[in-house]
Structure 1
Amino acid sequence: MKDVRPAHKDAYELILEAIDIGVYGPGDRLVESELAERFGVSRTPIREALQRLETQSLLARDGRSLIVASLSHDQMAELYVVRAELEGLAARLAARHATAEEVRVLRAMVDEDRKLLNDPSAMSRANRRFHKQIHLASHNRYLVQQLDLVHRTMALMATTSLAIEGRGQDALSEHQAIVSAIEAGDGDAAYAALKTHISIAFETRLRHDAEALMAGG
C-alpha cells in the first residue's frame, strides 16, 4: 500500500512517524524496497534514513535485516527515569514562561480529549500532542530536542498504558492538575504533578506487563 507523502516530510520523518503510530512495531522487519514504494521515494534516502535510525538505536540488526528495536525491562525503567525528570523540568519552565494562549490551548486539549476515552489509539496520539505542547511551552529549545528523542524511543513500546481500563480517565485528571499548576505559575507544583503522572503511567505499565506474564505462564 502506497502512502501519500507530505511534501514537508523526508524519509527519516516518514519512517519515524510510521513507527510512532504503530504501522511498524517492535520486531517488524524494514525493507528498503517496500518502504520506498510505500512512501513514494527512492531507495537512497530510505537507506540513509534507516542508517540514521539504527545509529539512534531505534532499529536493530537481525542478521542482515533491520528490525524495529524493542526495549528490555531495564531499558524501559531507565527511560522512564529520564523522561520523568525532563518532563518535570518542562512543566516547571512552562509554569514560568507559558503564554496565556499556550495555557488555553492546553486546557482545550484536556477538554477535547475526554471525547476519546473509548479509543486508546486516539488517546495515545492526543497524549503525545499534549506533552509536546508542554515541551514547547517551556520555551527551551534544547530541552525540547532531548524530549523529542525520549518520545521517539517511547514508540518502541508495543502497547500504550492508556489502553488499560480506567487509565485514560485517570490520565486526563492528571493532565488537568498539570495544566492548573502551569496556569497558576507554580513551577514546583507543575514539576511534581508531571513527575507523578509519569510515575503512575510507569507503574500501570509494570502491573500490566506482570499480569500478561502471569497469563502467558
Structure 2
Amino acid sequence: MYDRLRADIVAGAFDAGAALVELSLAERYGTSRTPVREALRRLEQDGLVERGDRGMRVRTRSPEEILEIYEVRISLEATAAAAAAQRHGELDLIRIRRAQAAMEATDTGDPGAMADANRAVHERIWAAGRNGTIVDLLTRLNNHLTRYPATTLAQPGRWTEAIAEHQGIIEAIEARDAERAHDLARDHMTRARDLRLRIYQDGDD
C-alpha cells in the first residue's frame, strides 16, 4: 500500500495540496483503512504528505521549500564528501568509481535513469563517510525532492557538467583532501539548487 501510494504521489497522480481521505484511498486501492493509515503515516515521515485543516494532504510545493531543502543538503553533502575523503577504504573507492562509470554509461534520453544513476554516485560517497546519521538525513531530503519530479540533470549541458563535477569530488576523496572534497561537493549542490529554482520558476516542476 505504501509503495503504491508513494509512487502515485511522486508521479503526480494527486495534485499538490490534494486531500488524502482514508476511506476514498481504501476504495481506490482495494484495501482497508488500516494499511492506508499506516501508509499515510510513513509518507508524512518521508515529507510527501502533511497535515492540513481537514486531515492529510499531498504536501504543497514552493520555492521557499526548495531553498530550505538545499540549504541543509548543501551542507550535508559537503560534510559527507569531506568525511569520505578522511575515512574511505579501498572497497569504497571501487564502489564509487563503479557508480560513476555506470552514470557515464546511462542513456541520456531517460531522465529517470539519469536521476537514479546520479543518486547512486552520491549514495556511495555518503556510505564512504561512515556516518549513518548523515546518510539518514540525506535520504530523507531526497524523499522531499521526489515531489519535484523534473530532474536538473535534463537541463542543457548539466549532465556533462555534473559528471565532471563528480569526477573532481572523487579525485579529492581518493587524495584524502577533505577540504577540497567539501568545497567541490558544496559547489556541485549549489549549482543543482540554482537549476532547481529555475525549473520551478519556469513552471516545469
TM-score (ref. length: structure 2) = 0.82
Deviation at 1:51, TM superposition (A): 2.5
CA contact (8 A) 2:172 2:178 kept: yes
CA contact (8 A) 1:60 1:68 kept: yes
Partner residue, 1:100: 90
- After TM superposition, the structure 1 stretch with the greater mean CA deviation from structure 2, 198-207 or 48-57, is 48-57
RMSD (Å), alpha carbons: 2.8
CA contact (8 A) 1:70 1:157 kept: no
Q: Which amino acid aligns with 2:11?
A: G
CA distance in 2, matches of 1:25, 1:125: 23
How many residue pairs match? The answer is: 199
CA contact (8 A) 1:32 1:47 kept: no
CA contact (8 A) 2:87 2:130 kept: yes
CA distance in 2, matches of 1:16, 1:183: 41
* 2:11 counterpart of 1:22: yes
CA distance in 2, matches of 1:16, 1:150: 19
Q: Which amino acid aligns with 1:201?
A: A
Deviation at 1:60, TM superposition (A): 3.1
- After TM superposition, the structure 1 stretch with the greater mean CA deviation from structure 2, 156-165 or 22-31, is 22-31
* 2:64 counterpart of 1:74: yes
TM-score (ref. length: structure 1) = 0.78
CA distance in 1, matches of 2:126, 2:176: 16
- After TM superposition, the structure 1 stretch with the greater mean CA deviation from structure 2, 132-141 or 108-117, is 108-117
Partner residue, 1:152: 143
Change (3 A) 1:80 1:47: same
- Structure 1 residues without counterparts, runs of 5 or longer: 1-10
Report the 3-state secondary structure (helix = DSSP H, G, I; strand = E; otherwise coil) of the residue aligned with 1:198: helix
Change (3 A) 1:64 1:73: same
Deviation at 1:197, TM superposition (A): 0.6
Identity %: 33
Q: Which amino acid aligns with 1:32?
A: L
